[in-house]
Amino acid sequence: MSMKDWSPAYRRYQQRLIGASMLYLLSLLPVVWLFNHKAPQGVLAYGLAVLPALPVIGMFAAMGLFLREETDEFQRFLVVRQILISTGLTLSVCSVWGFLETFVSVHHFEAYWVAVVWFLMFGAARFMRWGL
Amino acid sequence: MENRLRVLRAEHGWSQADLAERLGVSRQSVNAVETGKYDPSLPLAFKIARAFALPIEAIFSDDAA
């Protein structure tokens, strides 16, 4: 689908995704700086630590809004299929990695990498069009 | 599911883009339905039927039937 074929719902989804990505950067960089230089404590530390996760949640919400707003059922079907493929692949990778961490000495990844892997898989799933 | 979309479009002189515009969907969606890669929902099938002023069963047929 080329840019000129984008539906209004898809355009809104792209705008929300870009907005959430910018908010992510705008929240992550100061939070990293604060924890490196000021070592916040208590409730403030919890609040600051959670801050960069909120735009990531926003990205998933943007996806949900797209599925609600898109009126073209085939386009919705393609995105739902993409979500299912990326979810399956991500859970598979994480399951394999989890057992490797438990039984063999491999690098431990923080849980937020799951979202990164999911988005990578989501991008890759766009090109997995067997039967379509 | 089999369909006669390509023939019906040709009879009306409509391109996939023309039909897509009438249905309010993307050209890619019309192509997916036409080539049998995607079976439309009942509401979309009714929309297609209305666009050609035909009953649904005159456009779509079940392979198993």
Q: Which tens digits make up the pLDDT trace of A74-105? A: 999 999 999 999 999 999 999 999 999 999 98
* Dihedral sign computed on CA atoms, order A58, A64, A67, A68: negative
Task: Tell me: pLDDT of B65 over 70.
Answer: no
Do the chains contact at A72 and B26, CB–CB below 8 Å? yes
Task: Tell me: pLDDT of B61 over 80.
Answer: yes
| B2-55: CATH, from 3.40.640.10, 3.40.718.10, 1.10.260.40, 3.40.309.10 | 1.10.260.40
- Reported ipTM exceeds the 0.85 cut: yes
- For residue A71, list chain B residues with Cβ-Cβ distance below 8 A: 24-25
- For residue A2, list chain B residues with Cβ-Cβ distance below 8 A: none
Do the chains contact at A5 and B41, CB–CB below 8 Å? no
Q: Which of B26, B40, B41 sits opposite A75 (nearest CB)?
A: B26
Task: Tell me: pLDDT of A8 over 60.
Answer: yes
**What are the angstrom distances between the C-alpha of B44 and each of A25, A27, A119, B29?**
41, 43, 31, 11
Surface of A (60-119) touching B: CB under 8 A: 71-75, 77
**Predicted model pTM:** 0.87
Among residues B44, A127, B51, A72, which one has the least CA distance to residue B1? Answer: B44
